[in-house]
């Protein structure tokens, strides 16, 4: 009996030693890949450059900025953005530049720094054919030509007009000084507006603001328009005249048969 007890004791001790010698493997820690937020510029603005295939929803998801905030920060009235466009994500502290350690500079006379001139911005306008009338530009909705665009600065120092054209390139007013601008659009004849026709924005240095204005074809006027042929006469009148002529011929034949019977 004593030998059996010693055997059980040694087996138990051996199992305990084997368990202590085996390392416990910890579960690996998941590493999250952070979104590389663009570095704030010298003025503190965080700018994202639109890449091909980007949408406002995608930019909102990867940056954490809501779609409404993106529209408000960038004066975007719809969902249309183009590759290369600068999108303002928010304001942060200016980027910090670490000075390089080196020898002490030679003292130089201090001169006053001149005040920099106000920066310039860009305002681009697109008048599009809002086929479904939802007030937002879809990918298949083309630009409309013939719209009159009026752009003026509040103080009156800038006032320009231009006409919209069809195609993919928006109508842009370049090299505009900072200030409050009002942009109004007169839509072509035969169309009804589906968005507001006049917008006021605050333009700051470096801004590239894109404004979309929608217009839908006036279906009522198309329905009321008379249908005409090359001769200028209505085809309905021609059909009625032909029926009258055929009826007269039929009556004449019927009358001649009655006279013969007599």
Which residue, chain included where needed, has tokens 């009655």?
Answer: 258
Residues 130 and 57 in one domain: no
What confidence tier does 162 reach under pLDDT thresholds 50, 70, 90? very high
Residues 127 and 70 in one domain: no
Residues 125 and 203 in one domain: yes
In this structure, the dihedral spanned by the alpha carbons of residues 36, 42, 47 and 49, taken in order and rounded to 10 degrees, is -90
Residues 192 and 144 in one domain: yes
Give the CATH number for residue 155.
2.60.40.10
**What is the per-residue pLDDT across 176-213, written as a single tens digit (0 to 9) for each?**
999 999 999 999 988 999 999 899 999 988 888 888 89
Quick one: pLDDT at residue 96? 53
Is 251 part of a structural domain of the chain?
A: no
Residues 152 and 213 in one domain: yes
Give this prediction's pTM: 0.45
Give the CATH number for residue 72.
3.10.350.10
What number is the average pLDDT over the span 146-162?
91
Token duo for residue 198: 């006049």
Quick one: pLDDT at residue 37? 61
Please tell me which residue, 136 or 8, carries the higher pLDDT value: 136
Q: CA–CA separation, 90 vs 3, rounded Å?
A: 80
What number is the average pLDDT over the span 157-173?
88
Quick one: pLDDT at residue 231? 46
Residues 147 and 197 in one domain: yes
Token duo for residue 54: 């980007």
Residues 80 and 143 in one domain: no
Is 12 part of a structural domain of the chain?
A: no
**What is the per-residue pLDDT across 98-119, written as a single tens digit (0 to 9) for each?**
555 555 555 545 444 444 445 7
**What is the per-residue pLDDT across 48-81, written as a single tens digit (0 to 9) for each?**
888 888 888 888 888 888 888 888 888 888 778 8
Owning domain of residue 133: 120-219
Helices (H), the chain: 2-21, 56-63, 67-74, 219-224, 235-261
Quick one: pLDDT at residue 34? 46
Q: Is 221 in contact with 200 (CB distance < 8 Å)?
A: no
Across the beta sheet with 191-193, what order do the strands follow?
171-177, 120-129, 208-217, 191-193
Residues 215 and 140 in one domain: yes
Q: Is 184 in contact with 162 (CB distance < 8 Å)?
A: no
Q: CA–CA separation, 187 vs 79, rounded Å?
A: 21
Quick one: pLDDT at residue 16? 72
**What is the per-residue pLDDT across 16-57, written as a single tens digit (0 to 9) for each?**
765 555 554 444 444 433 455 677 777 778 888 888 888 888
The total number of structural domains in the chain stands at: 2
244: DSSP letter = H
């Amino acid at each position: 009996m004593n030998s059996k007890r010693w055997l059980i004791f040694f087996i138990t001790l051996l199992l305990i030693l084997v368990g202590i010698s085996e390392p416990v493997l910890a579960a690996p820690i998941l590493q999250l890949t952070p979104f590389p937020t663009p570095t704030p510029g010298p003025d503190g603005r965080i700018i994202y450059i639109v890449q091909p295939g980007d949408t406002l929803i995608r930019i909102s998801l990867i940056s954490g900025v809501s779609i409404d905030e993106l529209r408000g920060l960038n004066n975007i009235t719809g969902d249309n953005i183009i590759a290369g466009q600068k999108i303002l994500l928010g304001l942060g502290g200016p980027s910090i530049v670490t000075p390089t350690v080196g020898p002490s500079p030679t003292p130089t006379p201090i001169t006053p720094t001149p005040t920099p001139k106000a920066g310039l911005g860009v305002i681009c306008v697109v008048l599009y054919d809002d086929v479904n009338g939802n007030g937002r530009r879809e990918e298949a909705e083309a630009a409309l030509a013939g719209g009159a665009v009026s752009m003026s600065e509040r103080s009156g120092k800038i006032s320009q007009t231009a006409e919209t054209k069809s195609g993919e390139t928006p109508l842009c007013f370049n090299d505009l000084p900072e200030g409050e601008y009002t942009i109004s659009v007169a839509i072509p004849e035969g169309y009804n507006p589906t968005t507001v026709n006049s917008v006021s924005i605050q333009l700051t240095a470096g801004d590239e603001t894109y404004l979309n204005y929608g217009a839908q074809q006036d279906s009522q006027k198309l329905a009321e328009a008379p249908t005409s042929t090359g001769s200028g006469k209505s085809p309905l009148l021609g059909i009625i005249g032909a029926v009258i002529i055929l009826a007269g011929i039929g009556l004449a034949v019927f009358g001649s048969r009655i006279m013969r019977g007599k």
